Amino acid sequence: MKREHKEEASTAAILRAWDAAPDVFTGSALSSIMLHLTEALQARGLAAGGKLTPAARNLLRRVDARARA
């Protein structure tokens, strides 16, 4: 597998986990982690307004297509 494909697959796993994560209580360790992860995803244009962006969904589709091939 090409390096960029591995990186996309890893990013896709993070996106899926972030998208599936439940809302957490402020002040918990998980809320701090989710806050920083959300900020990082937003900085990369992969999340906005608590949702995945079209760019994130396109990345997920590419990874899924490679997995099916």
Is 30 in contact with 24 (CB distance < 8 Å)? yes
pLDDT 10s digits, 5-58: 999 999 999 999 999 988 777 778 888 889 999 999 999 999 999 999 999 999
Q: What letter would DSSP give residue 25?
A: -
Confidence of residue 3 (pLDDT cuts 50, 70, 90): confident
pTM for the structure as a whole:
0.84
Q: Which amino acid belongs to residue 20?
A: A
Query: Residue type at 3?
Result: R
Residue 47, C-beta contacts closer than 8 angstroms, at least 6 positions apart: 18, 38, 41, 53, 56
Backbone phi, psi, residue 48, to 5°: -160, 135
CA dist 16 and 36 (Å) reads 16
